[in-house]
A and B are shown apart, each in its own frame.
Chain A
Amino acid sequence: MTDPATISAHATAIRLRGVTKTFGRGESAVKALQGIDLDVPAGELTMLVGPSGCGKTTLISILAGLLSRDGGELAVFGTDLATLRRDRLAAWRRDNVGFIFQQFNLVPQLTVAENVSVPLVLKGESVAAAVRKAHDLLATLGLEGRGKSAPLKLSGGQQPRVAIARALIHEPRLLVCDEPTSALDAELGRRVMELIRGRSTRPDRAVVVVTHDDRIFHLADSIAHVNDGRIDQLTRGAAYARPTTSTSMGTSSASSGKNPGVHT
């Protein structure tokens, strides 16, 4: 596996060429991905956008190692995930991927800090040490002293931050989020997305966000427009080349970004 230090910002973290995926067979077969070509750079936030059913979730699942591709080439930080067997693949996800789920999926019976600690515990850290780190990270996300609460006791604005903390606590090289704002109102969705961008973009980390929420397009470095299983446009987002701290000011539409490099 490639050493993270060798991946510099804007180098290609994930490389897809002609990736295909078909669900089912025969009459009822659905060609979800029909040849995806995409380079996801490290140090950037890449959004996958497009109409419902176009294949966004399928694509993000494949590059996060949750789903196998049928054809084409895929290298994630230099690793071809197809070469990993199921348990090795699980270990790869554990070591390399942070997830933010649409419903956040925080376990209600565990405390906030315990939820956040899960990726570290899965990596073999003791619960005590992992929970301590979780408290520290939560504090930097404005959740100081809330670590012992039940997740459902937190406000709607606090829960996404717990999910963000859980996705980042083990410092993954890849962060994937599928529709992270779709369950939130517009204002909260924008704030959460700003937080994701502000906290997660790092030179050695690739961030991939699936969304169809055009109010957050301006927070992308690049936007891949998925249509019918293909990427028919790749545009630079408004946030590209801007310091991550000033992401909240832009309101420009996604298509106005510079460098509209189009792949087909």
Chain B
Amino acid sequence: MWRFAIKMLFGDSAKFYGILLGLGFASLLIAQQASIFVGLMSRTFAFVGEVGHVDLWVFDPTQSFVDDQKPLRSTAIDRVRGVEGVAWAAPLYKSLLVATLPNGVRRSVDVVGIDADTLAGGPAEVVAGSLADLRLPDAVMVEIGSSQQQLRLPADLAPGAIPAPGQVFDPAGPTRDVEVGDILELNERRARVVGLVKCAETFVAAPTVYTTYARALSYAPQSRRVMSAVLVTANEDADITTLAERIRAQTGLEALDPNAYAMRTLSYWMRETGIPINFGIAIALGFFVGVAIAGQMFYNFTLDNLRYFGAFKAMGASTWRLLGMVALQALVAGILGLGLGLGAVSAFGLNAAGGKLAFKMLWQIPLIAAGAVLVICILASVISMWKVVRLDPADVFKGP
């Protein structure tokens, strides 16, 4: 009878596609919104992952997320270096500053100043030029990606060319990407692009501009010439957890490994913003729309077939066998609907990969969607099953 149950499901194509659509839509909405949520949330701490070979981040204890700038005293670096077990400690500067383009357009950029000696805190991927070139006068490296939308130079200014005195560009005129050799202005000071880097998209979508720590301070306005964090690498034999405790005790600063620092940032955004609630609402909506559409369609499907179930019951099919048929129909519809939805989300994700859209489908997300679809199928089939249980076999002799 299992085969017949499936044929009954597939054979009623209008209802079958309706059920699939409901379940597919629900799993699509759930998995897609969850993936965007995860993608968006991981952007809040993406900068931490950008920095390699760091054992501990040391920062002001009142700082609650990566971009929450709480200045450290300049002496912090020496105090951290003095802690036993620290191999090296490098200062880091990070702040939004204003860049002025040759056509007069002003843009916010995220300036990151790294230690000129160790170059610790530098970007993971250099696309053009070399990180060591940051030591050259006025040198900066610009992130491609965000800059291609936000840092656009006049098209009639050749790459690397310096505008002639008195030459003006139309701010609304045609533009081109930033290239190596181009000259920008950061707080009225010269910045020469010596390389291009690639960064993970961050939550604050301003293009990142890398330079040395000292030069970053010189670009910053007086009030913001402060250290943001200290990056620490531990001695080979040091235990990171105890080292972090020692730094905390001796400097009064917070010290966290990159993971913990990322989680601290994440939990701030989760706690303090409406983002999780908004995505939660979208996901719940997907769930309830699934229950409503698929549940309604499945119930109608069962109602349509009730007289045949009644005939089977009269002919001696046990109630359990009929319930099994309904459960199988719900399960098969669920699996196909889930496949449809997840397939669509994956296509969406592949399409979004590398683009502006935050999208990160963790392996748990399909499982969550599958769980949600399972619950929808159970809810949808329970009423149908109730109808089948209550079916009186004697009703087969009642009128149509």
CB neighbors of A among B307-346 (8 A):
307-308, 310-321
B305 to chain A, nearest CB (A): 8
Q: Is the CB of B315 within 8 A of A93?
A: yes
Once A61-B397, A90-B318 are accepted as A-B contacts, the answer to whether A105 and B311 lie under 8 Å apart by CB is yes
A121 to B3, CA, bound (A): 11
Q: Is A91's CB within 8 Å of the partner chain B?
A: yes
Contact flags A84-118 to B (C-beta < 8 A → 1, else 0) = 00110011111101010111010111100010001
Q: Is A122's CB within 8 Å of the partner chain B?
A: yes
Our pick among B310, B316, B400 for the contact of A94 (Cβ within 8 Å) is B316
Across-interface contacts of A64 in B (CB, < 8 A): 314
19 more contacts with CB within 8 A, not counting A90-B313, A93-B316, A118-B1, are A66-B393, A66-B396, A87-B320, A90-B318, A90-B319, A93-B314, A94-B315, A99-B311, A99-B314, A99-B396, A102-B399, A103-B400, A107-B4, A107-B305, A109-B8, A114-B4, A119-B316, A122-B317, A127-B3
Contact flags A177-219 to B (C-beta < 8 A → 1, else 0) = 0100000000000000000000000000000000000000000
CB-defined A-B contacts under 8 Å, sample of 23: A57-B397, A66-B394, A90-B318, A93-B393, A94-B316, A97-B316, A99-B396, A101-B311, A101-B397, A103-B307, A103-B400, A105-B310, A109-B11, A109-B12, A110-B4, A110-B7, A110-B8, A114-B4, A118-B4, A118-B312, A122-B312, A127-B3, A127-B4
Once A60-B397, A103-B400, A121-B1 are accepted as A-B contacts, the answer to whether A109 and B315 lie under 8 Å apart by CB is no
Contact flags A66-92 to B (C-beta < 8 A → 1, else 0) = 110000000000000000001100111
A204 to B100, CA, bound (A): 103
Q: Is B269's CB within 8 Å of the partner chain A?
A: no
Which residue on A lies nearest to B1, using beta carbons? A121
CB neighbors of A among B268-306 (8 A):
305
Could you tell me which A residues sit within 8 Å of B by CB distance?
57, 60-61, 64, 66-67, 86-87, 90-95, 97, 99, 101-103, 105, 107-110, 114, 118-119, 121-122, 127, 178
Across-interface contacts of B12 in A (CB, < 8 A): 109
Across-interface contacts of A102 in B (CB, < 8 A): 397, 399-400
The interface residues of chain B, by DSSP majority, are classed as: helix
The interface residues of chain A, by DSSP majority, are classed as: helix
Q: Is the CB of A107 within 8 A of B316?
A: no
Q: Is B65's CB within 8 Å of the partner chain A?
A: no
Our pick among A87, A95, A97 for the contact of B318 (Cβ within 8 Å) is A87
Once A102-B397, A122-B1 are accepted as A-B contacts, the answer to whether A109 and B311 lie under 8 Å apart by CB is no
